[in-house]
Amino acid sequence: MAAREIIVAVTGASGAVYAGRLLRALLQDGHRVHLVLSQYGRYLLIEELGYAPDLESVVEFLNRLYGDRVRRGSLHQYRVGDLAAPLASGSARIHGMAVVPCSMKTLAGIAHGLSTNLIERAADVTLKERRPLVLVPRETPLSLVHLRNLTAVAEAGGTLVPAMPAFYQRPGSFDDLGDFIAGRVLDVMGIEHDLYPRWQGPWREPQPPAVTTPP
């Protein structure tokens, strides 16, 4: 499919694997990624996936992590404090935005239209331009404050893909779990992928061939 311009924001909730697998999938399929890491999103990439920002770019990190080439697409990175970046304007040619994973703090900022940093502003722009905005929130248990903020984003047109992978596809690794959530994010955005096997209906016992009795 044609290359898309996608904003990916990584914030400080556990679940960096979801961001890693989404970035890998988008870049492998030739899409153009506009990446914003919050301070704690960067920290979670370091803690959970071993990103070494002083030694490598994000693309080099993904290649090292997944052992395959993700250079078909392109990745442009922006500072989270750069409110003058192109992404801060509705005039930027953007297909959609994913916040993966999405902390309760960033969720609150988006739900209330705060735009205090580039992630919140780009999400605000995505909503007002009626482009797909997908949040992957991760927190447990959820307070009433969290639930109200989730509802506010859904009412404003955002889609919530909670970090709740399924198990019917029998995941064998963390990457499989990451691919399931990454695939659900891409489904919402209408971007083709083969990150997880689609549900084909329940497994059934093979039936013996019908016995035909002679007349």
Residues in touch with ligand FMN (CB under 6 A): 11-14, 38, 40-41, 47, 103-106, 138-139
Least distance (Å) from ligand FMN to the CB of residue 80? 7
Least distance (Å) from ligand FMN to the CB of residue 175? 19
Residue 170: left if φ>0, alpha if ψ -120 to 50, beta else—which one?
left
For 24, phi and psi rounded to 5 degrees? -60, -50
| Secondary structure letter of residue 153 according to DSSP | H
Q: Which residue is nearest to ligand FMN (CB)?
A: 12
**Closer CB to ligand FMN, residue 15 or residue 73?**
15
Q: Which residues contact 31 (CB under 8 A, 6 or more apart)?
A: 3, 4, 5, 6, 73, 191
**Closer CB to ligand FMN, residue 80 or residue 191?**
80
CA dihedral 45, 51, 53, 57 (to 10 degrees): -110
**Closer CB to ligand FMN, residue 13 or residue 75?**
13
**Closer CB to ligand FMN, residue 116 or residue 168?**
116
Least distance (Å) from ligand FMN to the CB of residue 16? 10
Question: What is the SS3 assignment for 92?
Answer: coil
Least distance (Å) from ligand FMN to the CB of residue 209? 53
62's enclosing H/E stretch is helix 58-66
Least distance (Å) from ligand FMN to the CB of residue 139? 4
Please compute Rg for the chain using Cα positions: 20
**Closer CB to ligand FMN, residue 14 or residue 63?**
14
Least distance (Å) from ligand FMN to the CB of residue 207? 47
Give bridge partners of residue 132 from the DSSP assignment: none
| Cα–Cα distance, 159 to 185 (Å, whole number) | 9
Contact 81, 118 (CB under 8 A): yes
| Cα–Cα distance, 20 to 181 (Å, whole number) | 11
**Closer CB to ligand FMN, residue 47 or residue 194?**
47
